């Protein structure tokens, strides 16, 4: 079932059920009243990532919080998408963009990976989570992608999950066309790995290519920025082996 694109969606941490009365945070009250210009009686969709999506009505708006009356279930809770997105973090502005695009493109788990050329030592998980929520409200999903603690590339590969294929965007892969390799993965548990601005090191490339679960793919004849590569690769994966095929 597609999301209702006409109504505003708001993420709430609270439990949701018919008749529930929920007090929003101060920020959410400001957003509803002053950004969305909502008043008493205005309707919106609310979701918490656990209980599905509900139609709600604004019962009252004050400075410190808005009161929402939860009415009816509009879409039942959906399972967590299984697509694992492994990314070398980028500088803050680009990272915000990267996280939001990964959510819109259907990643279910975000795994920051520290590689040799990663330029961002500290990763703000709270900021990543805020970007996940913002993207989830915008793109109509009901389950909230999770972000894991950062891992070094070697460590991530050491503890790799049995049965999951890792699509590795390799700018040194032969040829330009990723489709032959990707279409062989339909129905498999998948992950995607995109490198940092500086690319992977020779040692990292050799390590990745030597692993049986790694599927190196080219992304055309041009060198893409990491955030471009991420969106392009996610689109290819969803269209050839993911939820764009449905």
Interface positions with ligand SAH (CB under 6 A): 169-171, 194-195, 197, 199-200, 218-220, 222-224, 226, 229
CB-based burial, 158-193: b 16+ in 10 Å, e otherwise:
eeeeeeebbbbbbbebeeeebeebbeebeeeebbbb
Q: By three-state DSSP, how is residue 71 classified?
A: strand
Least CB distance to ligand SAH at residue 156 (A): 15
Vertex 223: Cα angle to 221 and 228 (nearest 5): 110
DSSP code, position 11 = E
Q: Which is nearer to ligand SAH, 76 or 220 (CB)?
A: 220
Residue 90 beta carbon to ligand SAH: minimum distance, rounded to whole angstroms: 9
CB of 208 to ligand SAH, least distance (A): 10
Smallest distance, Å, CB 197 to ligand SAH? 6
β-pairing verdict for 43-47 and 21-23: unpaired
The structure tokens 């389950």 sit at 143
Q: Rounded to whole angstroms, how far apart are CA atoms 71 and 56?
A: 5
Closest approach, Cβ 118 to ligand SAH, in A, equals 11
Q: What values do phi and psi take at 69, rounded to 5?
A: -105, 120
For ligand SAH, the closer CB: 38 or 166: 166
Cβ proximity to ligand SAH, 110 vs 136, nearer residue:
110
Residue placing its CB nearer to ligand SAH in the complex, 61 or 231 = 231
Q: Identify the residue whose tokens are 């339909």.
A: 186
Q: Which is nearer to ligand SAH, 47 or 200 (CB)?
A: 200
């Amino acid at each position: 079932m597609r999301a209702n694109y006409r109504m505003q969606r708001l993420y709430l941490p609270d439990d949701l059920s018919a008749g529930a009365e929920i007090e929003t945070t101060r920020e959410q009250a400001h957003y509803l009243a002053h950004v969305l210009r909502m008043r008493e009686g205005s309707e919106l969709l609310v979701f918490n990532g656990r209980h599905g999506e509900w139609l709600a009505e604004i019962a009252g708006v004050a400075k410190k919080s808005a009161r929402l009356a939860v009415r009816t279930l509009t879409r039942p809770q959906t399972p967590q998408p299984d697509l694992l997105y492994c990314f070398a973090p980028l500088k803050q502005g680009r990272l915000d963009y990267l996280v939001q695009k990964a959510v819109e493109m259907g990643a279910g788990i975000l795994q920051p990976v520290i590689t040799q050329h990663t330029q961002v030592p500290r990763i703000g998980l709270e900021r990543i989570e805020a970007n996940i929520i913002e993207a989830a409200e915008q793109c109509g999903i009901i389950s909230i992608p999770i972000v894991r603690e950062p891992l070094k590339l070697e460590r991530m590969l050491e503890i790799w999950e049995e049965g999951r294929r890792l699509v590795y965007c390799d700018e040194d892969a032969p040829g330009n066309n990723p489709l032959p390799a990707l279409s062989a993965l339909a129905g498999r548990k998948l992950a995607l790995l995109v490198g940092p601005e500086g690319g992977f090191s020779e040692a990292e490339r050799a390590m990745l290519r030597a692993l049986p679960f790694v599927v190196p793919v080219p992304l055309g004849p041009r060198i893409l920025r990491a955030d471009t590569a991420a969106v392009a690769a996610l689109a290819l994966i969803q269209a050839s082996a993911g939820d764009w095929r449905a």
